[in-house]
Structure formats: C-alpha cells, structure tokens
Amino acid sequence: MNGCSRFRWDKGEVFHLKRIIAKEEYCMGCGLCEVYCTVQHSKSKDIIKAFNRENPRPLSRVKLEVHKPVSFAIQCRHCEDAPCVTACLSGAMQRDEETALVTHNADKCIGCWTCIMVCPYGAIKRDASGKVVSKCDLCLELEVPACVANCPNGALLCKEVKT
Amino acid sequence: MPKYVIVGASAAGIGAVEAIREVDPVGTLTVISEEPCPQYSRPMISDLVSGKANLEKMLCRKDQFWQKKDVQALTGRTAIFLNLAEKWIALDKGDRVSFKKLLIATGGKPFVPKIEGAEKEGVFTFTTLSDAESLAAKIESAKSALVVGGGLIGVSVTEALVKRGLKVTMVELKGNILSLILDQTASEMVENVISNAGVTIATGQTVQRILGKPEVDNVVGGAILTNGELVPCDLVIIAIGVIPRLELVSATDVKTNRGIIVDKFMRTNVSDVYASGDVAEAYDFVIGENRLLPLWPLAQLEGKVAGYNMAGKKAEYPGGTAMSALKYFGIPIISIGIANPREDGTYEILVKHQPERNIYKKIVLKDNVIVGLTLVNEIERAGILFHLMKNCVRVKKFKQELLSEDFSLATLSRSLRRKLYPGEY
C-alpha cells in the first residue's frame, strides 16, 4: 500500500496535488474498489449494512471499466482545467481554493446533467436518488482513499502532481 | 482608469472575472450589470417558479464573489453608450467608465414576435430573475397558462407551471417540440411525458391574438391560435428564444452579423474589445462556422477565454456546438451536435432504441467521426463520446460498441487513450 498523505504546500509555496491513478496492467477486475467506495460513502460505513440495509444503496463513485482483457478503475481526475466546473449551471461543482480539488455540493446541485455531458472520463454519474450527481471526493476524511487502500493488487495508487 | 471593464455579469462575465483574476490579481476590474444581483444561474429561474429553489440556492457564486475577486461591481446600472475611439462607456446616470480592455457580455433578450394583445397584463417573457419573480407572483391567482415556444425555455417553464398546479398548453410552430436539438423519436418521447403530466401540446401552431378577460380587457383571458382555436388562459409566457443584445455596439465599428463576430481568442474586429456569451457568434466545431449558441456552459467558457486573453495569457476557444443536457419531467437527455442530419448519404446513423426501457440513443457519424449525439435515459457515457467528437476521433474500429451500456474508456485502445488523455495512461 502506498502512502498518500493529503495536501500540502512545500516551502516554495508549490502546490502538491494528490491524484489517483490506475495501473491497468495490475487490475484484475475484481471490483473491490467499487465495494469499498460504496461502503465509505454509506451512512453506516459497514459493508453488510451498506449493501443489505441501506435503501437506496449508496453508489460507488469509482467505476470499474471492463473491456476484456482490459480493466481499470476510473474516478474523477480533479482535472486542472475541469470542464465540469466551467459548465456547471448552479455553481455546485467548484474548484476548492484550498485543496485545488473539484468539489461537488449536492445541496446546490440541480441534477441538470450538464457535468455528465462534459466529463471526458465519464466519471460523474446520477446518484442513487436520480436527482443529483455524484463523483469521487478523494475520501478527504481518510489518509488514503478507500479504493486505493483496498485494491488487493496495487492497481490504484496515489500520485503527487506538482502544479 | 479601470484596466478591465466587463459589461454583463452572467455566465460569460463571471467566467471572464475568474480568468482575469487567475492571471492578474491586481489590475482594476469593473463589471457593469443591469441586475441588482447578477451572479445567479439563469437556467435555474424555472426552479424559482416551481418553488424548488430560492434566490440563495440560485446563486452560482457566493454573495461576496465580487469583493473576493476585487471587482468594482456596478450593479443595477446600464451601459448605454460606447465610445471606442476614446475608450469609455456612458452609464445610465450620466457617468462614464473608461477602459483599457473591454468585454461585451450583454447576453440575449427574449425574442417577442408581434402578437396582437401582447401588451396585456399576464403576458411574460422568461429570461431573467425579474421575469421569473413577476411570473411567480402571479401564479397563485392563475389556473391556466399558455406557453408559446416548445424549445428549452418553453419546456422548462412548462414544467415549473405544471409543478405549481397550472393547466398548461404549449404551442410550438414546428411539428415537434425541441426540434432544434432532438430528432422526431426523441422529441416524441419527451412529448409523451409532458402530455402525461397533463399538458396539452399544440404543434404546427402559434398564437394569433391574445385576448382579454370578458370583465377586464387589459388582463389576459385567452389566446387564439393560428388554426382559430381559442385557448382560455390566465397567463401567456412567450418563450421562443433569445436574440443578442447589440444596442451597445450597434452604432459602433464593432462588426456584427446576428451577433458580435469574434475570433478564437474572443476578440472582436476592434482591438482591445472582446465579446462572449449569448451576444457573440463563436465557433461551432461541428459545422465549422461561427454562429449564435446561447448556452450557459459555452458562455462561461467563452468568457473564460476572453478573460485570459484580456489579462495577457493566450487562450484559444476550442469551439462549442449545440449541446444540451435536459432534466425536465424526469427524463434525462443529452443532445450534442447534429440531431437531424440531412438525408443525402453523407451521414451514417447508429441507433439503439428500446422503447420498453425508455432508452433511445443515436449517434450521427460523418466520415467515421461523431458529429451528433442524442442520449435518452442512458446518458452516463455522454462525456466520453463528446470527447471523441471534439477530438475528431475516427471511430471506425469500435463504432459497434459506441451505443453499448458498457462503452467506456476501456473500450478505446491504449494508444488512443494515451493520445486523448495525455499523462493518464
């Protein structure tokens, strides 16, 4: 498991952004990334309760893309020049000034689907309610995002990107 | 003298402010807006009418947006005259604002055809917050409404009125609603859900005359359609479309066609004068020409490009095209580019239609490049397809998979992914 401390500025005020990258040559297509993403974004944070009791079941924000023999997991890339932020009609999709992450505010979201239209990765989806969108938040409350931490074969890792 | 002046503070103006401040945190920046609180989302005015959103929710930027961006915001003010030779703008109360770089982002105004009786109380247009507020104020006392125009604005206001319990008749001149962005099949799917919500749709019709109430003639009581039919109604909403607001430049050297003509840097023909948003004719990469595309996301992007260039960072507008995401009446639709190609053999059409699942997907290809995209109910992969479209990717090798539910980045070859998503794979 690779260490993925969150965000920091170094002394020269250079910003280091963490990104999740997929190593498709290591991906076995097991789908545990989706399972643990679902758990992490559930109310209970419990795998059994999240899958069996929560209704609607929380959606995984990471998507395992499979086209045999290729497979890899895709989640929001927090693009530097994010089309979803520019296109958002309501201001729900914003670039966070502190973390430089693309954040989605579900309370402001009006479910117009414009971000889905412009995301080149197909990394935004309608959430379980069908009323707003949902996407990767990089599990800010965790040291390591759930999908990265639980990938059994090192096919997802956190990388530091200098901006 | 303010270095930058922006006229108009909706999508394009906001995009420009953010871009300018990214490059130049200190250059003086003045924004002129007719609206008292301009940083709201115009596409959300229907949510205000339906009661789904209040003004606070409609604000697409925070209250302190202007202060935070160090902008002198002249809100509730109108720019009435532009002197290009001396580089100043006259405002409504007689004062002047000088500029070094100017962005005209005055947007559009509703197109209102000449209809007898259009001056009566109860006739509305539907473009601004104040339009929506005036309409919302009348709803409680109204039972029925007539919406003129079956385009995006017409459908959005219809949905809002239905949610407020009004009986709505929608009148559309063409044979189908949303005919600019949908083909007949997709349009009929929307017509079905709208009709099921209790709306009467009258296609091939427009309004001939608006009538008063028998007791008070200057208050709307009904309308006569071109086929002679009388539709009783308490409100008439004219939602045909918007046309560019060219008043400020009409007596100047700024070149216009239907809108202000701009290059890929959002420059007009006059140096230091830029234009963006609904007032400008920017490049459409699908048809290969400049044209009016009054759409929020494009306006914001155009404003951003203008802002960068005004502040000295070279930025090129990649081009836009007709692109709409629809949520109305609970039927998610994404439509990009050509929806109704000419039937002259130059286009290839891929279709997946599953009426039992309410799914309709159509891709229009020209020389194996995607030039049109319509997705009804299964919209999740739209962005990837749009990316292929923007990058003119030849899809010959995998075109049979484009409409599959499982279509994803993994469908693309590794070399294509590397090319399209640099630094990722």
- Residue among A34, A104, A117 with most chain B CBs within 10 A, to mutate: A117
Residue B72 lies in a domain: yes
- Residue from the list B53, B61, B297 with its beta carbon closest to the beta carbon of A118: B297
Q: Which residues pair with B283 in a beta bridge?
A: B290
Q: Which domain holds residue B200?
A: 123-240
Residue B403 lies in a domain: yes
Q: What is the pLDDT at residue A5?
A: 41
Do B218 and B134 have their domain in common? yes
Do B88 and B146 have their domain in common? no
Residue B118 lies in a domain: no
The whole-angstrom distance between A88's CA and the closest CA on chain B is 7
Residues of A in contact with B43 (CB under 8 A): 89-90, 112
pLDDT single digits (tens) B205-219: 999 999 999 999 999
We report the CATH number of the domain holding residue B351 as 3.30.390.30
Contact A113 B421 (CB under 8 A): no
Q: What is the ipTM of this complex?
A: 0.95
Do B217 and B159 have their domain in common? yes
Residue B122: both structure tokens together? 């109860």
Largest interatomic CA distance in chain B = 73
Q: Which amino acid is at B119?
A: E
Round the average pLDDT of chain B to a whole number and report it. 96
Residue B343: both structure tokens together? 């039937």
Are B111 and B67 in contact by the 8 Å Cβ rule? The answer is no
pLDDT single digits (tens) A14-33: 555 678 999 999 999 999 99
Q: What is the pLDDT at residue A11?
A: 42
On the CB side of B190, CA atoms within 13 Å amount to 30
Do B147 and B74 have their domain in common? no
Q: How many CB atoms lie within 10 A of CB B111?
A: 14
pLDDT single digits (tens) B2-41: 799 999 999 999 999 999 999 999 999 999 999 999 999 9
B184-196 and B152-163 helices cross at what angle (nearest 10)?
Answer: 20
Residue B316 lies in a domain: no
- Residue from the list A86, A112, A126 with its beta carbon closest to the beta carbon of B301: A86
Do B138 and B229 have their domain in common? yes
Q: What is the pLDDT at residue A1?
A: 36
Do B174 and B71 have their domain in common? no
Residue A10 has pLDDT above 50, yes or no: no
Do B8 and B78 have their domain in common? yes
Contacts of A48 (CB under 8 A, 6+ apart): none
We report the CATH number of the domain holding residue B10 as 3.50.50.60
The whole-angstrom distance between B215's CA and the closest CA on chain A is 41
Q: What's the domain count of chain B?
A: 3
Q: Give dist(CA B259, CA B319) in Å, integer.
A: 16
Residue A6 has pLDDT above 50, yes or no: no
Q: What is the pLDDT at residue B423?
A: 76
- Residue from the list B336, B408, B424 with its beta carbon closest to the beta carbon of A117: B336
Name the pTM for this structure.
0.94
Residue B117 lies in a domain: no
pLDDT single digits (tens) A39-64: 999 999 999 999 999 888 889 999 99
Residue A8 has pLDDT above 70, yes or no: no
Residue B327 lies in a domain: no
Q: Which of B310, B345, B360 is the last residue of a domain?
A: B310
Q: Which of B220, B240, B260 is the last residue of a domain?
A: B240
Chains A, B: CB contacts within 8 A come to 113
Contact A117 B409 (CB under 8 A): no
Residue B112 lies in a domain: no
Do B298 and B231 have their domain in common? no
Structural domains of chain A in order of their starting residue, each with its CATH number: 1-75+138-163 (3.30.70), 79-135 (3.30.70.20)
- Residue among A64, A110, A135, A157 with most chain B CBs within 10 A, to mutate: A110
Residue B116 lies in a domain: no
